Each structure stands twice: as C-alpha cells, then as structure tokens.
Copies of this chain bind each other. A is one copy, B any other.
Amino acid sequence: MERSSIQTKDTWDLSYIYQTNQEFYTDLQKAKDLLQVIYQQKDIFLNDVDSFLKFHEDYIKLSRYIQKLHCFAHLHCDVQPNEQDYQTMYAAILSFYDQVSSTLDFYTVMMIDHSDIITDYLKDERLADYRYSIQEILRQKKHVLSQEMETLVSKTSSISDISSQVFDALRLDYEPVHVDGEEKFLNSATLTEFLKNKNPEVRKEAYHHFFKEYKRFENVFATTLSGVMKKDAFYADVKKFANPLEASLFDDNVPTSLFFKILDKANQQYRPLFHRYNALKKKKLNLETMYNYDLSVPLIEYETKKYTIEECFDIILDVVKIFGDDYVKIIQKARDERWIDYYPHSGKRIGAYSSGCYDTKPYILMNFIGDYNSLSTMIHELGHSAHTYLSCHNQSPVNCDYRIFVAEVASTVNETLLIHYMLEHATSQEEKAYFLYELLENCVGLIFRQPMYADFEHILHTWAQEGKPMSAQMITDLYYQKNAEYFGKDVTMDEYVGYSCFYIPHFYYNYYVYKYTLGMTVALAIVSRILNGDEKQKEAYLNFLKAGGSKDPVDLLKDALVDPIDDQLYDDAFHYFENILNEFEEII
C-alpha cells in the first residue's frame, strides 16, 4: 500500500509543528542566530547570577528549537523516506546539532571548573527550575576531561553515528508469503499476523522470507551492530568509565547492580518458570516439534474481533477513566488533533513509537492492522504520549524531558490495565483464557525476553570493549545460542534465529532493553495496587507522570511508591506471572 492511498484523517497532522517547509528553515535560521548569541556569552555567563540565568534561558530556547526541528524532520522521514525534502531537513538538523555541540563544547568544562560559584548561584530562586539539571551536569565531574580533550571528543560526534544512520536508512523488501494459494505482502506488521497463522507452512515461509533478507545483508548488519557497540565502548573508555554499562547507567544515576539483578532474576532464578510455560505451550499446540516461529500461534481457540480505530478509542477511553477526566481529555485530544499516524504502508518505519517535545504534540507512529495487538500498541504509545503531555504541561521546558529509564512505566501500566479490563469484560471462559494468555505473553516479552536481549547486548558490549572482532557469524551464533538456552529444550530454534537480532532497533540504543523489564515490574506493582482501589497509589502515579524529568529516576519511582532497588519488586513480578500461569493452566 502506498501512503497516498491512506485517508488524511488516518495520518498524523504535522502542520501543528510547521505549516510549510519554509517555516522549518525560518526556525533553523533563528536557532543558528541564537547559537551565536549564546556563544558570545561564553566569557561572561559565569560572571554573575543574572548573566548565568540569561545564558541558561537562551540555552533552553535553543534546545527547544532543536527538538522541534528534529521532530518535524524525523517524523516526516519515518513515513516518507523517499521525500528528499525531508531527508534534506533531517540532514540539516543533524548537521546543526553537530555544530551546536562543537560551538558549545566549552559549557560542561566551564561549569565543572566553577562548580563552587554555581552552587552559590543556584540558591537564587529564579534558577529554581534549573537546579536539578545543573546539578546533573556537576555530577559528571569525574568524567569531564580537559577542554582540549572535550573538544576533540565532541568533534567525534560527526563520525560516530554512522552505524545507527545506516541501520535506519537500510529498508528491506521481502518476498511475498503464500496463504491459501494467494500471494500476501510481507513486512514487519504482516509478519506478526502470519506467525499466528494455523498453517505451519505459512509461519515458516513468512519467517524465512523475512529473515533471509537479514541474512542476505548480514555483513552490513554485523558492521552496524558491532559498530554501535564499538561506539558505546569508545565513549565509555574516553570518558573514564570502567565499561559501557557503567557509562550508560551513570546517566540515570542507577547502580550497575540493578542491571545484573534483573538479568539474574530473569535468566537464572525464574527461568524454570518460563520453561514450564513453553512446555505447556508445546503440549497445548500439540506440535511434535515446536519451532521458535510457532510461539505466536494463538493457544486459545478464540476468535478475537477486529477493531476499528474508533472502537479502539472507545475501549481505551473506558480503560483510562480510572485516572480521571484530565487523562481522558488527553486521549480525546490525541484522536481529535490527529496525533497518530495509524496505518502501515510501503516505506513507512516499522514498529511503533511516541515522539514529541515541549513545542509539538506528542505524536505516535503505528502500523495499525486492527487486531488486539494494534489496540494494545495504541494504548501503550498513548501512555507515552500522555506522560509527555502531562510532563510538558506541569514542568518547565528545562525539566519536562523524562528519561527512558522511567519511560516504559507509563506505557506498560496502560497495556496491563487494558488486559485486566479485557479480562474483566470477558463473557466466556475462552475469552478469559485468551486474555490471560495475552497477559502471559506480555509478561514473557518484558520480564523474560528483554533480559535475554540485555544479556546478549551486554556480551556484545563486552566484546567491543575487549576489542574482540565481531563477524556476522560470531554475532548470529551468539544470538542463536542465547535463544536456545533461554527458551529451553521444548523450543526448537530455526536456522534463521541468529539473524533475527539484526532486526531489533533497540540494540542501537545503548542498554535500553533492560528498562522494559524495569518498566513492567514497576507497572505490575502499580496496576495491582490501583486495581485494588489504592487511591494513594493512583495519585502518586499521576504525580509521577507530571513530574517528568525533574528528579533522579530512582527518586521519581520512589515518589511513585515503587523502589527499583528492592528485590521484592522483581520477586513480586515473577510471582504475578506464576499466579497468572497457574490460573491459565487451570482454565484451559
């Protein structure tokens, strides 16, 4: 399907950002001028608190321009990658971003060098909004180099991002899949559908046609995946961190023990639970050999309905009314103001995301196909967008950006509430079983599979740090082996499993995936309490959404009444899974 054949009402309305391309370039020019204005304050901004404040006000204005410009260009590129106007804009903003980094590379070093005087300035109430973010800069003291070295490090940004850029630019086409003698279009969205098909041949063909393209380009993907690992290792090294993991977690001010705790819980302590689940699946599916591409076949003979976009909104609005009117209004805005680009089409970016900033709507890209997964993805992304909306409307532009570390909480809470809503409204045992199964699958994805990804990614990072060569074979062998270990003996791995790691964008995000597990465990705790009528928890949660990025992530979560450092949180999550599994086993 081509984008041109999709109705305007089903696409996002980016004209809220800029009505014309010209406006983009006008703002870009304003940002460029502002950069010079800021640069001219280099020698005076530390002189007194007024200059210091003025500098930071300009600085935040500049970052608002950059975020808005970036948003406009990248959203357009993600749906129309062949429109060169947008590619040019995207290149322009990336290039400007490099220019900003190099022009303002004095900032951090000067701040660190004058931390005493700055601590004094921060007592001024006019700087109240800036306190947290500036203290975050001062916290980097041990990892800031000399000005000369920092300048050089900042210049590397022009060459260090090629792996991710290539990964984003490399769009593949797939051979069609034969379903009942008919040729069907294959892309990432339809793959998900084909893998649910009852005919094992369809599943196998879809899986093979999809991942053989990743095998075909395995040397490119091995280059970009190892490239991004080397990049993370490079920056960790030059910034004096013990390893890439420490460097990544430093940003969130989270101890590395948290990362290993998650890996240990999922990959060691509770793995038998997951093997038990797979054994049950194999038995229930009645397959002699259950391949990895068989795992999405619905276990429950229940014909879920197809949802229109309107029906999705009806359900979502009903689910989120537990949060009160303000939250409901945000969801209505998302619909009425066309924040969402719904349908898949040729060239469109795969998957789904929410993306926006202080000066844009919190847009959502989806590949909506009307199944339950689409509904679930929609409420998930709306969770992010509501978080962004609440944060931007309750925090100053300085503190509105929440970190990825806490980002998955808002989305996963929504997704989990949706399932509980479905369970509650189930009208038959089959329907109930179906949604219990959905919940199990969700948990598996987030509390078992993401830790496997994290484990895999951690090994690649370690290889990169050790300077170990990483060929396509080594990478795919490792991924195959991790899958085999993790899924256990009841799941037979297809020959293409190793190549499926090349499909996952999150490995380009520097220790991102473990945050999904954290988000899920936190969400399960919050949802359980809210569903038990815990009003204090509900209020704490909404305040957490409004708090945006105004505190350390761990503190934000503690304010939301969940402590991510506490073992209990994780044990509760796995026991929750065990309980659902018990309930499911009984019912089927």
Contact = CB atoms under 8 A, between A and B. Distances in A.
Contacts of A158: 230, 233-234, 467
A4 interface: no
B87 A162 contact: no
A469 B95 contact: yes
Contacts of A170: 217, 220
A360 interface: no
Interface string A84-127: 11011011111110110000000000000000000000000000
Interface in A359-405: none
A474 B89 CA distance: 11
Contacts of A85: 473
A223 to B, nearest CB: 5
A510 interface: no
A227 interface: yes
Contact of A152 (B153, B165, B468): B153
Interface residues of A, number: 52
A380 to B, nearest CB: 28
B95 A159 contact: no
27 contacts: A81-B219, A84-B471, A84-B473, A87-B222, A87-B473, A90-B471, A91-B471, A95-B467, A95-B468, A98-B467, A99-B467, A148-B149, A152-B152, A152-B238, A155-B238, A156-B156, A156-B234, A158-B230, A158-B233, A158-B234, A158-B467, A159-B227, A159-B231, A162-B166, A162-B224, A169-B219, A169-B220
A237 interface: yes
B156 A470 contact: no
Number of identical monomers bound together in the oligomeric complex = 2
Interface of A is mostly: helix
Contacts of A98: 467
A160 interface: yes
Nearest to A160: B159
Contacts of A521: none
A85 B471 CA distance: 9
Contacts of A224: 162, 166
A472 B230 CA distance: 26
Contacts of A238: 152, 155
Interface in A465-512: 467-474
A158 to B, nearest CB: 5
A155 B234 contact: yes
A166 B220 contact: yes
A472 B227 CA distance: 22
Contacts of A156: 156, 159, 234
Top 7 A-B pairs, shortest CB-CB distance = A91-B469, A84-B473, A169-B219, A95-B469, A87-B471, A162-B162, A88-B471
Given A81-B219, A152-B153, A159-B160, 20 more contacts: A84-B473, A85-B473, A87-B222, A87-B471, A90-B469, A93-B469, A94-B469, A99-B467, A148-B149, A156-B156, A158-B467, A159-B159, A162-B162, A162-B163, A162-B166, A165-B223, A166-B166, A166-B223, A169-B222, A171-B219
